[in-house]
Every structure is written in structure tokens, then in C-alpha cells.
Amino acid sequence: MSPSWISRPRDIGDKSDVNVNSSPVSRSCLSRKSKRFWMLLCAGILLLIVAIGLAVGLGVGLTEGSGGGGTSPSPPLPSNNNTNATSGDFWRPTAGSSWQIVLQNPPTDTSLNVSVYDIDLFDNNASTISAFHTQNKRVICYFSAGSYEPNRPDSSQFTKPDFGKGLDGWPGELWLDTNSTNVRSIMSARLSLAASKGCDGVDPDNIDGYDNDSGLDLTESTAVDYLTFLAIEAHGYNMSIGLKNAGAIVNATVDFLQWEVNEQCVQYQECDLFRPFVAAGKPVFHIEYPSDAPAVPLSTKNSLCDAPSAQGFSTVIKEMSLNDWVEEC
Ligand SMILES: *[C@@H]1O[C@H](CO)[C@@H](O)[C@H](O)[C@H]1NC(C)=O
Ligand SMILES: *[C@@H]1O[C@H](CO)[C@@H](O)[C@H](O)[C@H]1NC(C)=O
Ligand SMILES: *[C@@H]1O[C@H](CO)[C@@H](O)[C@H](O)[C@H]1NC(C)=O
Ligand SMILES: *[C@@H]1O[C@H](CO)[C@@H](O)[C@H](O)[C@H]1NC(C)=O
Ligand SMILES: *[C@@H]1O[C@H](CO)[C@@H](O)[C@H](O)[C@H]1NC(C)=O
Ligand SMILES: *[C@@H]1O[C@H](CO)[C@@H](O)[C@H](O)[C@H]1NC(C)=O
Ligand SMILES: *[C@@H]1O[C@H](CO)[C@@H](O)[C@H](O)[C@H]1NC(C)=O
Ligand SMILES: *[C@@H]1O[C@H](CO)[C@@H](O)[C@H](O)[C@H]1NC(C)=O
């Protein structure tokens, strides 16, 4: 019910050099069709989520109070004793690889002539992933590594001390303390799930809480430490792993991560931050969300695809909802 899988837009005011809606709220929740309808729907969802959140919070509180923690199954251990974030023979995509990203639903059209699909870890199964492999495509599995989403199968395993403030514009979704042992063991289990489904790599979202009012003590070095942890585990499963946005820590992570997934760097004029990946021969999987999608005028498409700052990036034009619709550059 919560659109929590949608990659979040950031509010960088009037820096945009293309025509897009500037309000993060309108872009996240109210962007389509009748504004009034969506406003009512969003309000309804918000109320429901607050109610569920309270119920879950209460439940967790009670479990903790009764000395719980023994009830949740312990996550499987990584498949090896990897301690090196860079080594391994996992898949390493090359800069410029073509891709598609669909997070709203399991992809309907799986036959696009691209080499990589980025799809939701929980919403897709091993048969879907193996069907991609039959087509010689690689699969990156998306999950949120830095936020609590109320509607994931393992959501009840997070505990109150893991939570920070809500994510702006994302009702029910909370920043997570990425240094929490509990959070890390839940994420280990997610990586194990990804490996068991056959994902070639993982796309951990929301690792840039240091840049936000998270209510937690998250710094750039917490984020680098967290990504090091995730990379060692992912590589231990023979999966690769990328960075998501987080321009400030590109230099600190480019050596042990296999790609960057960036949103809107042309719009926000910050593509240069991500260029070190391409310079290292690694893809920058780049998304722009023009406001007129899916009816993007050729002139808009060209200005995004041909943006000098994004040359060498793997650019796709998408709707915010990250549904099937895509315009490949
Ligand atoms: C990992 O290391 C531990 C301790 O060094 C050892 O007992 C265990 O067998 C190792 N596991 C694997 C899969 O190599
Ligand atoms: C990790 O592995 C890489 C590549 O195999 C190697 O160059 C590097 O020295 C290793 N680092 C450590 C800390 O073992
Ligand atoms: C690891 O992944 C690479 C790339 O997909 C593959 O060639 C290799 O066989 C895999 N190694 C293992 C041990 O599964
Ligand atoms: C798919 O894309 C590749 C690389 O761009 C190209 O060489 C190939 O001809 C395309 N295949 C089809 C069926 O369009
Ligand atoms: C896997 O997912 C696909 C698409 O959602 C579905 O059609 C298929 O039945 C699922 N397969 C299994 C084994 O669950
Ligand atoms: C993250 O921080 C930026 C910059 O302060 C802000 O514009 C954006 O809305 C925040 N995002 C979320 C999801 O809170
Ligand atoms: C993270 O947790 C470890 C122990 O689990 C602790 O030693 C370290 O100080 C913590 N770091 C931060 C930034 O809280
Ligand atoms: C990353 O390194 C490059 C090359 O050394 C440098 O130009 C750039 O300013 C650095 N980025 C940040 C965010 O510090």
C-alpha cells in the first residue's frame, strides 16, 4: 500500500535545468491524474499507516519488554568467510551497460534488449530471475537498506531503537540506524534471500541518511562503514553491489562497489559527482524523471540523453513510479 519502493525525489529547489515538477510531495504522491483524488487517497493511506505504525510499535515494545528477540529466526550466515570488500569473481558490469528498472510491480515486459534489469527483491521470485538469465540478462535486486518500510515480509523484525525520523514525503517509512546490529542482521538475511533467488547483484537504497534529517547519528563514515559491511556480505554470496545516489561518498566507495544508481543528476546538475565510477570502467545507471513522462517531447528526451555531464552514463527516462514505461537513450 505504501509506495515506499519508489526511489525518492530530493528537493533541491530551483537548480533544475529541465522542466519538472519541483515539489517533492507532488512528485512522490500527487503527481498523476486528479490532484484532488490523490490528495484524498494519500491522506487515507497516511492515516492507515500511522495506525499500523502505532500497532507495530506497540507490538515491538511489548516483545522487547518481555525480553524477546529470541523469537525472530536468526538470519543465515554468509556463504563464506569473505573479509575483503574488493575481491571475488562476482559479476562486474562495464560502464555503459544498458538497463531497465521496474520497482512498482514485477516487470511486465521482460524482453527489452538491455543487459541489466533492476527489480524489487521481495516482489520477484527465482523463476523470474532465472528467465532473465535464460535471455543472458543480469538481474540487480533492489531493497531499502537504510529505511524501514512497513509492508515488507520482514518488517516486524525491526525494533524501536533502530528507528529514526520519517522520510520526508514517504508516510510510514522511517530512517534506520545503519550501525544497529539488528538492522545489519536483517540486511544480511535480505542478502541471503537475494542470493537464494539468483540475483546477480543488489541495489541497496537509502544509504544516504547522513544527508537528511534522520534523527539518528548518521555520518558519511557510518555510510561507508555500512556499505563496506554490505559489500563484504554481498560479495561473499558472489553478488555485486552498487551505490545509490550519495554523491558525497563516491570517492570513498568506488573501489569496492560495482556501479552507481543515480537519480536526476542532470536535473540537479551534479553528474560530475558520479563520474569516478565511469572513470573506473563501472556503470552509472542513471534515471531522469521529466514531468511530462510518459509523453516526453523529443526535445526533452534529447536534452536529457545528450547532456554533456552524463556522457558515458547508462541513462533511462522513467516515470517517478518506476513502472514498466521507459525511454532508453
Ligand atoms: C569460517 O571461519 C570459521 C572460523 O575461522 C570456520 O570455523 C568456518 O568453518 C568457516 N566457514 C567457511 C564456510 O569457510
Ligand atoms: C583484497 O583483494 C584484492 C584483490 O584480490 C587485493 O588486491 C587486496 O590487497 C586485498 N585486500 C586485503 C585487505 O586483503
Ligand atoms: C560467481 O559469479 C561469476 C559471474 O556471474 C561466475 O562466473 C562464477 O562462476 C560465480 N562463482 C561461483 C563460485 O558461483
Ligand atoms: C540488442 O542490443 C545489442 C547491443 O546494443 C545489439 O547488438 C543487438 O543487435 C540488439 N538485438 C536486437 C534483437 O535488437
Ligand atoms: C513467479 O512470478 C511470476 C511473475 O510474477 C509468476 O507468474 C510465477 O507464477 C511465479 N512463480 C513461482 C514459482 O512462484
Ligand atoms: C533528504 O535531504 C534533502 C536535503 O536536505 C532533502 O531535500 C530531502 O527532502 C530529504 N529526503 C528525504 C526522503 O527526507
Ligand atoms: C557502531 O557500533 C559499534 C558496535 O556495534 C560501535 O563500536 C561503534 O562505535 C558504533 N559507531 C557509531 C558511529 O555509532
Ligand atoms: C572525488 O575525487 C575526484 C578526483 O580526485 C575529485 O575531483 C572530486 O572532487 C572528489 N569528489 C568529492 C565529492 O570529494
Ligand 1 pocket member 80 (CB < 6 A): yes
* Each residue's pLDDT tens digit, 111-152: 999 999 999 999 999 999 999 999 999 999 999 999 999 999
Which residue positions in the chain have pLDDT lower than 70? Answer: 1-82
Confidence (pLDDT) at 32: 29
Chain-centroid distance, C-alpha 229: 17
Q: Which ligand is nearest to the CA of 97?
A: 4
For the CA of 81, the nearest atom of ligand 1: 1
Confidence (pLDDT) at 83: 72
Ligand 7 pocket member 222 (CB < 6 A): yes
What is the topology classification, in CATH, of domain 13-328?
TIM Barrel (3.20.20)
How far is it, in rounded angstroms, from Cα 164 to Cα 162?
7
For the CA of 222, the nearest atom of ligand 7: 13
Residues at CB less than 6 angstroms from ligand 2: 84, 86-87
Question: Dihedral of the CA atoms 171, 173, 174, 180 (nearest 10)?
Answer: 170
Ligand 8 pocket member 189 (CB < 6 A): no
Ligand 1 pocket member 66 (CB < 6 A): no
Residues at CB less than 6 angstroms from ligand 3: 89-91, 238
In terms of pTM, does the model score above 0.85?
Answer: no
Residue appearing with cell numbers 575483503:
84
* Each residue's pLDDT tens digit, 146-190: 999 999 999 999 999 999 999 998 899 999 999 999 999 999 999
Confidence (pLDDT) at 247: 98
183: nearest Cα among 237, 225, 132, 240: 225
Contacts of 145 (CB under 8 A, 6+ apart): 176, 178, 187, 190, 204, 205, 206, 207, 226, 230
**Could you write out the DSSP letters of every residue in 99-161?**
EEEE-SSS-S----S-SEEEEETTT--HHHHHHHHHTT-EEEEEEESSEE-TTSTTGGG--GG
Pairing assessment for the beta strands 147-148 and 163-167 based on DSSP bridges? unpaired
Separation of CA 251 and ligand 8 centre (Å): 6
Ligand 1 pocket member 23 (CB < 6 A): no
Contacts of 93 (CB under 8 A, 6+ apart): 115, 116, 138, 201, 240, 258, 259, 282, 283
How far is it, in rounded angstroms, from Cα 228 to Cα 244?
14
Q: Which ligand is nearest to the CA of 112?
A: 4
Take residue 1 and report the three cell numbers written for it: 500500500
- Other Cβ atoms within 10 Å of 47 Cβ, number: 11
Is the peptide bond between 107 and the residue preceding it cis, with omega within 30 degrees of 0? Answer: no
Separation of CA 91 and ligand 3 centre (Å): 7
Contacts of 323 (CB under 8 A, 6+ apart): 102, 104, 105
Residues at CB less than 6 angstroms from ligand 5: 106, 125, 127-128
What is residue 12's DSSP assignment? -
- How many angstroms separate the Cα of 130 from the Cα of each of 136, 216, 258? 10, 39, 21
In 237-288, which ranges are continuous DSSP H helix? 250-253, 275-279
Take residue 244 and report the three cell numbers written for it: 545509490
Domain ranges of the chain: 13-328
Closest CA to ligand 2's atom 5: 87
- Other Cβ atoms within 10 Å of 16 Cβ, number: 16
Ligand 8 pocket member 252 (CB < 6 A): no
How far is it, in rounded angstroms, from Cα 20 to Cα 115?
29
Closest CA to ligand 7's atom 14: 179
Which backbone phi and psi does 305 adopt, to 5 degrees?
-70, -35
Confidence (pLDDT) at 82: 66
Closest CA to ligand 8's atom 5: 251
Name the residue of 128, 129, 139 to mutate for ligand 5: max ligand atoms within 8 A of Cβ: 128
**Could you write out the DSSP letters of every residue in 155-190?**
GGG--GGGEEEEETTEEEEEEE-TT-HHHHHHHHHH
